[in-house]
Amino acid sequence: MEVEEKPSEGVSPGEILTEQFPAGAKKRNRKRRIMAFIVVTLLNAGLLALLASQLLTPAQDQSHLGSAQSSSSPLIGHPAPDFTLAALSARSAPALHLASLKGMPVMLNFWASWCDPCKQEAPLLEATWQRVRSQGIVFLGIDFEDRQSDGLGFLHTYGITYPNVRDASGTVAINYGVTGVPETFFIDRHGVIVRKVIGELTEQSLQSNLQVIAR
């Protein structure tokens, strides 16, 4: 007759199982700890990779953009901020007041002599100006935070004949929300900004926006 062994008093069944199968229990616990460690490590690695991608992705330097990008702006649909700036000229010339151009479509181009995309678009701007000036469209350049001598040298080098003014302090650029050059604003006959382009203008982007403000 078999005698059923009973657990010793004061010893729990769990402790008996642990004593009977110590290696298996430890193995399972170790496996669970390893899996938890792997999951946490993968999550941390993913978060670090996401953070690194945000930090290491270079910010777009607008002074080196190779092509124009249509941009939204809180100023679009609103009157262009008025300003009065001194003409960029070797001779004495009266200051230019933007409000005096109301009634005419205006292409307002922020540029600087040290800006490579500005140099690339300069011949296009001058050639287009010569073609559309008879239609009553005004081209106005704003030399941004530049020395007068450098700005005048730029106009001479690229044969620019349309009016240009100096924003030496950058105040006007701030009012327009300019974050880099070139940036171009297209203003309709009512003095309202209808388009903004960031970066170097192309013939297509320039023509399409001029058509909008010339209506």
Q: Which pLDDT score is estimated for 111?
A: 98
Contact 184, 174 (CB under 8 A): no
Q: Cα separation of 166 and 151, whole Å? A: 8
Query: Domain spans of the chain?
Result: 13-56, 62-213
Single pTM value for the model: 0.69
Nearest-angstrom CA–CA distance, 6 and 4: 6
Classified as helix, coil or strand, 202 is: coil
Average pLDDT of the segment spanning 16-27: 52
φ/ψ of 83, rounded to 5, equals -160, 160
Q: Which of 139, 143, 128 is nearest to 106 (CA)?
A: 139
What does residue 189 show for φ and ψ, rounded to 5 degrees?
-65, -20
Q: What is the DSSP secondary-structure string of 105-122? A: -EEEEEE-TT-HHHHHHH
Give the pLDDT band of residue 35 (cuts 50, 70, 90): confident
pLDDT digits (tens, 9 = 90+) for 123-179: 999 999 999 999 999 999 999 999 999 999 999 999 999 999 999 999 999 999 999
**Over the stretch 42-71, which tens digit does the pLDDT of each residue have?**
766 665 555 444 433 333 334 444 455 667
Cβ atoms of 186 and 194 within 8 Å: the answer is yes
Distance of CA 64 to CAs 78, 82, 101, 200, 212, Å? Answer: 28, 28, 30, 8, 26
Distance CA 30, CA 20 (A): 18
Asked if pLDDT for residue 19 goes beyond 80, the answer is no
Please give the CATH number for the structural domain made up of 62-213: 3.40.30.10
When the pLDDT of each residue in the chain is averaged and rounded to a whole number, the result is 82
pLDDT at 72: 79
Is residue 121 over pLDDT 80? Answer: yes
Rounded to whole angstroms, the Cα distance separating 106 from 203 reads 17
What pLDDT shows up at residue 93?
84
Confidence class for position 199, pLDDT limits 50, 70, 90: very high
Of 181, 36, 168, the residue nearest 119 (C-alpha)? 181
Which two tokens mark 10?
A: 């004061």
Assign 28 a pLDDT band (cuts: 50, 70, 90): low
